[in-house]
Amino acid sequence: MRSGPFQGRHRMKDGPRARPEAGLASDIGIGSVRSRILAAAGDLLEETGTDDFSLRCLAARADIGLATIYSHFENKEALLLRLALRGFAELRGDLLQARAREDIATGPMRRTARAYLSFAADRGALFALMFDTRLMSRHADLRAAEQEAFAVYLESVTADARLPEGTRADCAVAVWALGRGMTAMRASQPDGKLPQDTDESLARGIAWMLDRPG
């Protein structure tokens, strides 16, 4: 597999890979305890971010015993890793749907870029978790998940005849980095939100880059 756009070298040793029985397919059973834990964890994450996220608070929110949570996830990091992996799977699905839509007015690059940046804006806490530097540096599974999502976007950009052929891969990396940068800007604010004028300026600038003719 090709290396991801921002993987590079990682100083920290990879943490253990997720166990096969703990794969994403096991997360989605309707009404299962595991799916209840993950659903509640996703909601809690959006409210607290990673710093104030705790398994004790999660247990109270999901009305599930703390011991039951530990029977499914070894520790907080294991649970957050699973959420991040699910996030990349959902992002990849959004990108595939955007790429498949037929829209004469826009090319595949613009459609998938909007899907990617909308995911970053609408699900900020999850997006920040997905690109968390500590998790990313410790878990090869997470770096591979990013690469799988980025590959969908890269294919969309390289297939877009509106862009000069020699610049398409560079454009894909630049927009991918923009999503990361947006999240970092929001995370630097006490409430996780940019000032309104900055947020509006960012939205206008992105719209111009994606929607200008040519």
Quote the pTM value: 0.80
User: Per-residue pLDDT tens for 93-138?
Assistant: 999 999 888 775 677 888 898 899 889 888 989 999 999 999 999 9
Rounded distance between C-alpha atoms, residue 133 and residue 110, angstroms: 27
pLDDT value, residue 31: 57
8 Å CB contact between 48 and 57: yes
Q: What's the token pair of residue 164? A: 């000069």
Q: Which residues contact 123 (CB under 8 A, 6 or more apart)?
A: 46, 87
* Rounded alpha-carbon distances, angstroms, from residue 181 to 91, 168, 196: 17, 20, 17
User: Per-residue pLDDT tens for 38-81?
Assistant: 999 999 999 988 888 999 999 999 999 999 999 999 999 999 99
Rounded distance between C-alpha atoms, residue 176 and residue 120, angstroms: 10
* Rounded alpha-carbon distances, angstroms, from residue 32 to 58, 72, 131, 134: 16, 11, 27, 29
Rounded distance between C-alpha atoms, residue 162 and residue 107, angstroms: 7
| 148-152: Cβ within 8 A, 24+ apart | 148/88, 148/92, 149/88, 149/91, 149/92, 149/95, 150/4, 150/5, 150/176, 151/2, 152/92, 152/95, 152/96, 152/99, 152/112
Exposure letters 36-61 (e unless 16+ CB within 10 A, then b): ebbebbbebbeeeebeebebeebbee
pLDDT value, residue 30: 46
Task: Compute the half-sphere exposure of residue 39: CA atoms within 13 Å on the CB side of its CA.
Answer: 12
| Three-state SS at 107 | coil
CATH superfamily of 82-211: Tetracycline Repressor, domain 2 (1.10.357.10)
The residue extents of the domains of the chain are: 82-211
pLDDT value, residue 16: 45
Rounded distance between C-alpha atoms, residue 142 and residue 88, angstroms: 8
User: Per-residue pLDDT tens for 127-152?
Assistant: 999 999 999 999 999 999 999 999 99
8 Å CB contact between 206 and 117: yes
pLDDT value, residue 212: 58
Give the residue among 18, 4, 167 at the shortest CA–CA distance from 92.
4
Sign of CA dihedral 72, 74, 80, 86: negative
